[in-house]
Every structure is written in C-alpha cells, then in structure tokens.
Amino acid sequence: MVLQRDLIKKLVLTAINAESKDSAFKSLRDGYPTGHAGKTMTNEQLETLLAAFLERSPHLADLLFTDQGGRLMGLDGRISEFVHRHFCELAVPVLSVHDSYLIDYTRVRELKRVMAVASERVCGVALPTSNQFYGLDEADPEYVQDYIAFRQAARSEGYLRRKAQHEQRTGRPVEAFV
C-alpha cells in the first residue's frame, strides 16, 4: 500500500508539472532505479492509476499535463522580484532561497507586508506567510527592551577588532538596533 501511495503521489506531481502524458510517464519511469516497480510500469498501467486517483480528486483533472510547475515558478519569480526591488531601493539586503527570504531580524514585519502586497498584485490575493523565527519588530516591546539592554553589554577586545576589520573591509559601519 505504501509503494502504491508513493507511486501515485509521484505520478500526480509529475503530471501536474509535465506538458503531456507521454513526458510525464517517461519522467516518472526515469526517476526510478532499475528493479523498482515504477520503472517497468506501462503507460496503460499509469493511466489506470491516474484514473483511480482522479475518481477521488476530480478537481485536479484540469491541472494535469498543463506545466503548472512552470506557471507557479513564474508567479513566484514575479513576487520575489517585487520584494527584491522594494528592499533594494532601501539598500536593505534580502536573499531569497527557494520559497523563503532571509532578511535582517528587525525587518521581518516589513517583509511580510511587502510579500502580501506583491502576492496581491501578482496573484490577485495576499497569500499567507509563515516564519520559523519571529523578527525583533514582531516581539512584545518589553522583550525588545530586554534584548536591547543585553546587546549593550560590554564587548570583548576580539569582537571589537573583528567588527573594525569588517567595517573597514565593507566601508559600512555596524549599527546596533536601538
């Protein structure tokens, strides 16, 4: 049962991202090692599996063999371009990695706002966001004050030396969040 579930899942994901049945079925078989059941399945067998899946999930039928992966990557690229342009105009570094963004922890709330605006312009609706770690700008002000007090503790000579080297190398001062 696990093998069948995994095979159907891979088949459906491949079909959503493919432009045709033939390319989806070939890609599916190519993805399995020699000796795996998925490697030797015929187009007819794959059609049967797909038909059984669509009986339970008919709402996905129109998405198969339509290169949805390419379409979604295009939308994602347009959203990311909007986000990057916004922060580039402010000279704030932001890095997109797959479906995530890395940004200064004092700018997380702004990033979420910009992502909502970008997704609304590109997709017609503000898409939900999530993050593993909260930004300092999202924390309770009392905790922010504790954090600031901690950050104002005396720094070691080694830290100050490395900071000065970094500032000299980049030509930009390191400024504390206050």
Mean pLDDT of the region 126-134: 87
What value, to the nearest 5°, has the Cα angle with vertex 123 and ends 122 and 125? Answer: 115
Nearest-angstrom CA–CA distance, 100 and 108: 12
- At 43-96, the pLDDT tens digits run 999 999 999 999 999 999 999 999 998 999 999 999 999 999 999 999 999 999
Tell me the three state secondary structure of residue 139: coil
- At 94-122, the pLDDT tens digits run 999 988 999 998 899 999 999 999 999 99
- At 13-24, the pLDDT tens digits run 999 999 999 999
Facing residues of 80 across strands? none
> What is the pLDDT confidence band of residue 2, given thresholds at 50, 70 and 90?
low
Nearest-angstrom CA–CA distance, 22 and 74: 24
Nearest-angstrom CA–CA distance, 20 and 24: 6
Tokens of 136: 């300092």
Q: Would you state the pLDDT for residue 149? A: 82
Q: Would you state the pLDDT for residue 174? A: 86
When the pLDDT of each residue in the chain is averaged and rounded to a whole number, the result is 91
